[in-house]
Amino acid sequence: MTDASELKHTPLHDEHMALGGKMVPFAGYAMPVQYEGILAEHEAVRERAGLFDVSHMGEVEIRGPEALDLVQYVTTNDASTLDVGQAQYSVICRADGTAIDDCIVYRFEDHYMIVVNASNRDRDVAHIQEQAAPLDVQVTDRSDETALLALQGPKAQEILAGLTDADLDGIAYYHFGLGRVAGHDAVISRTGYTGEDGFELYLPNESAVDVWQAILEAGKKHDVLPAGLGARDALRLEVGYALYGNDLDDDHTPLEAGLGWVVKLDKDDFLGRDALRAQKEAGLERKLVGFVLKDRGFPRHGYEIRHEGEPVGTVTSGLHSPALEKGVGLGYVDVDAAGKGTELEIVIRGKGVPAEVQRPPFYTEGSIRR
């Protein structure tokens, strides 16, 4: 177990403590898993808005004449299609096609930014720097100087509009703009990890507390709550978003993880292209699927999945959905058991609980603006 004294703190650590946040180790940081409670925070995001501290995420800046060449080589999606002010979901792969991380690529006027998961930050940066060696680029890890707040929920725009000079209507889904929020410079991105409309704010560390407090104050009339990792995990799983380390990992490719839509095999060479092309041509042997329990139960990571009485896979993420009031999850199964509507069993406490393969999102009533 990680010693608490060894954990990093985000710029908002004291705010979490003052709000009664229950702190847990996560990706080397002390992070709030909940404040008022996971169910209350989940409900706030689905019905009003919730504010998350995700400053543990990593931000890698890439500049120089060959910046696009590097981004293209280390990510599977086609960044050449990005306009200034646009963001793109992608995957970083090894030569064998397995996933190092999933990420979001941002195109600024004079540089690119790749946002990576906190747990993979060090190896992601090292990997990108290694690939950058022969190119005329500068790779800079901005993670330690950047705070990141996520305001998510159907009331997010109304709340943020009173604090910024930016044209929020002009920021489409997976786009971003520059503006001031509560008097501080910010990158305002319309992305998220909850299935609800919302914004992620990239700020200098020294601005984080002021902006955090301003959003919570402005959100009081909407009963906005600070939200922790527990609600975030439930929200993302209800809409089928992958969590690296569970649903996407060192042992699987993005094709197996159902992310073929961000793998552009027809673009110029990128790390893993040949392996992924060969895998696609040969056909997948296993595939990440969503499932919904037919009876009561709480599917958890690591539980066995059976089809016709035989083991065919393992649950990678699972929970009892607060919004749907039923068990839902993701898991890798043999491809023969991956078809929509396939009858499965999730082994919970030694008993096979009936389930059915269902394509995410499980929750479809979100306010997200595509």
pLDDT tens-place string over residues 318-347: 999 999 999 999 999 999 999 999 999 999
Per-residue pLDDT band for 369 (boundaries 50, 70, 90) equals confident
Q: With pLDDT > 90 as the criterion, what percentage of the chain qualifies?
A: 98
Superfamily of domain 285-370: Aminomethyltransferase beta-barrel domains (2.40.30.110)
Per-residue pLDDT band for 1 (boundaries 50, 70, 90) equals very low
pTM for this one? 0.96
For residues 316 and 301, the answer to whether their CB atoms sit within 8 Å is: yes
Are the folds of 4-54+145-238 and 285-370 the same?
no
Average pLDDT of the segment spanning 227-249:
97
Cis-peptide, bond into residue 311, ω within 30° of zero = no
List CB contacts of 367: < 8 A, sequence separation 6 or more.
Answer: 153, 154, 196, 197
pLDDT tens-place string over residues 71-105: 999 999 999 999 999 999 999 999 999 999 999 99
Mean confidence (pLDDT) of the chain: 97
For residues 213 and 169, the answer to whether their CB atoms sit within 8 Å is: no
Distance CA 68, CA 91 (A): 15
Q: Which of 125, 16, 118, 138 is nearest to 67 (CA)?
A: 138
Average pLDDT of the segment spanning 145-164:
98
Q: Which of 281, 173, 209, 291 is nearest to 15 (CA)?
A: 209
Average pLDDT of the segment spanning 182-187:
98
Q: At how many degrees (to 10) do helices 38-47 and 229-238 cross?
A: 50
Average pLDDT of the segment spanning 274-299:
98
Partners of 151 in beta bridges: 51, 199
Provide the H-helix boundaries in 239-348: 273-282
Average pLDDT of the segment spanning 39-53:
98
Class of domain 4-54+145-238: alpha beta
Q: Is 8 exposed, middle or buried (0-12, 13-18, 19+ CB in 10 A)?
A: middle
Per-residue pLDDT band for 4 (boundaries 50, 70, 90) equals low
Q: Which of 9, 21, 11, 6 is nearest to 230 (CA)?
A: 21
* Residue 276, pLDDT above cutoff 70: yes
Domain ranges (residues) in the chain = 4-54+145-238, 285-370
Residue 214 sits at the vertex; the CA angle it makes with 211 and 218, to the nearest 5 degrees, is: 140
pLDDT tens-place string over residues 199-220: 999 999 999 999 999 999 999 9
Position 157 scores a pLDDT of: 98
Q: Two tokens at 166?
A: 């930016």
Tokens 């041509």, located at residue: 281
The 3-state secondary structure of 58-126 reads EEEEEECCCHHHHHHHHCCCCHHHCCCCEEEEEEEECCCCCEEEEEEEEECCCCEEEEECHHHHHHHHH
Q: With pLDDT > 70 as the criterion, what percentage of the chain qualifies?
A: 99
Tokens 């709000």, located at residue: 19
* Residue 2, pLDDT above cutoff 70: no
Per-residue pLDDT band for 249 (boundaries 50, 70, 90) equals very high
Position 106 scores a pLDDT of: 98
- Across the beta sheet with 184-189, the strand order is 176-181, 184-189, 198-204, 146-152, 50-53, 225-226
* Residue 46, pLDDT above cutoff 50: yes
Distance CA 268, CA 261 (A): 16
Q: Which of 269, 278, 260 is nearest to 73 (CA)?
A: 269
